[in-house]
Chain A
Amino acid sequence: MNQVLDKKLFISKFFAFFGGCFICCMLQKEFGFSAVVASASTGFVGSFLHFPRFYEKNGLHSAIYAGTFAGMCSPQVLENHYHVCVLSLIGVTLYLLSMPYVKGIGGKLGTISFISSLIFFLSKGAW
């Protein structure tokens, strides 16, 4: 819980998640990339970005990659930039809350993105 409250970590992860999600969406909508290629290419480029040690240690690359999974939502779910922003807020909160749990099991990032997309999708109907 302390990690969630750590503003510095939250903001950096939020921007990483948002960046991954936004670029993935943009590659699909504007350039006609398939969801798989958009996610993989964003994650690949993101894995080469260098950040200060504090951020590297706390896994900014995984936040970018998790963001790209959230960005794989269909255009009917993610209609505009505000939607990407809200989804990133939900995603990064879940990401930070789940950090200490189920470590080392593959697909954790995708699951976080899936659950945040689901929460977003369900809450979107309630707006």
Chain B
Amino acid sequence: MKLILIMSVSIISTQLTRWIIKEKELSPIRTSTMLTLAFYLMTVPFEFEHKLLLQSAFLGATFVGMSETGKMSEKRLFWASLVYALIFNYVLPFNVGLGGALGFAAFTSCLFVQFMRTHVIKVSTVKRN
């Protein structure tokens, strides 16, 4: 359940960030921070188990959405946000209190998707043909 929640929040956050940057032409930093604060304010009145975790997941996922349109298409962003959610859920709990771990997770997931797309998937398509 926790992973599904993190995945959903990541996908929404990533796509929303990309949409605002692209359509409303706001700066990526302002979009990321504004959406995170909006999400925080939306969750303030409610009390649930993974509240703080979801707020962190949301902030980190906005970094995935901050990728340039030319580098990451919407489809790649979708996969990157899923990879990000997995890293967030399984790797980040081992962080010893260092800052920037969310950004690192976002960066790793974007690079992973880019690598898979340009090397692994491309190679398998060429072999099949």
Contacts and interface: CB of A to CB of B under 8 A. Distances in A.
Majority secondary structure, A binding face: helix
B40 A40 contact: yes
B105 A74 contact: no
Interface residues of B, number: 42
A106 B27 contact: no
Most A C-beta atoms less than 10 A away, residue of B30, B40, B64, B98: B98
Nearest to A21: B99
Contacts of B60: 107, 110
Which residue, A41, A77, A111, has most C-beta atoms of chain B within 10 A?
Answer: A111
A113 B59 CA distance: 15
B103 A69 contact: yes
A71 B98 CA distance: 9
Given A39-B59, A44-B34, A73-B97, A114 B104 contact: yes
Lowest 8 CB-CB distances: which A-B pairs, in order? A110-B103, A74-B97, A113-B100, A107-B106, A107-B107, A104-B68, A114-B100, A44-B33
Given A36-B40, A77-B99, A105-B68, 14 more contacts: A36-B59, A40-B37, A48-B30, A61-B29, A69-B102, A73-B98, A74-B97, A105-B114, A106-B67, A107-B102, A110-B102, A111-B107, A115-B100, A121-B96
Interface of B: 27, 29-30, 32-34, 36-37, 40, 52, 55-56, 58-60, 63-68, 70-72, 80, 96-111, 114
